[in-house]
Amino acid sequence: MKRVLFDTNLYVDWLNKGLHQELLVGPGLVRYLSAIVLMELRAGATARTANKVFDQLLRPYLKAQRLIAPSSKLYDEAGEILRELRGMGRDVRRAAIVHDILIALTARGLGASLYTRDRKDFSVIANLSGAHVELVETS
């Protein structure tokens, strides 16, 4: 079975618009949740109902022990990628770019494909990190 990790934007699309249903909950995939994605989702949740939805979303990942946090080694590697990006003239001060690198490295470490809509950042990150990134189009 194929291992997958989803970027925050896919969960947001699913929760707000019902997009990517088959990908996020359909059969045939072993899904993992990045602790960084969970953090981003919680940070964006302003309503009590949204937090309840995230609790429900989190439960099966916890039960299956598939909530994954980056190791200290991945943080070190992320620093190297940030240095390379800075050398390419990219702004590396945005928290989002740091998060994206850590998510990609986590997926790579699991041998998982990372699904995202973020073509701009992840196309470069995939090249530098060796992560397998699948770009998802919105309908």
Q: What's residue 54's pLDDT?
A: 85
SS3 of 127, please? Answer: helix
**What ranges do the domains of the chain cover?**
2-135
Question: In whole angstroms, what is the distance from residue 69 CA to residue 44 CA?
Answer: 19
Instruction: Write out pLDDT tens, residues 82-122.
Output: 999 999 999 999 899 999 999 999 999 999 999 999 988 99
The upper half-sphere exposure of residue 79, i.e. CA atoms within 13 Å in the direction of its Cβ, equals 6
Q: What's residue 53's pLDDT?
A: 84
Which tokens in the block code for residue 69? 């946090």
For the chain, the average pLDDT equals 93
Q: Report pTM.
A: 0.92
Say if residues 3 and 112 touch (Cβ distance below 8 Å): yes
| CATH (one of 3.40.50.1010, 3.90.45.10, 3.30.70.890, 2.40.30.10) for 2-135 | 3.40.50.1010
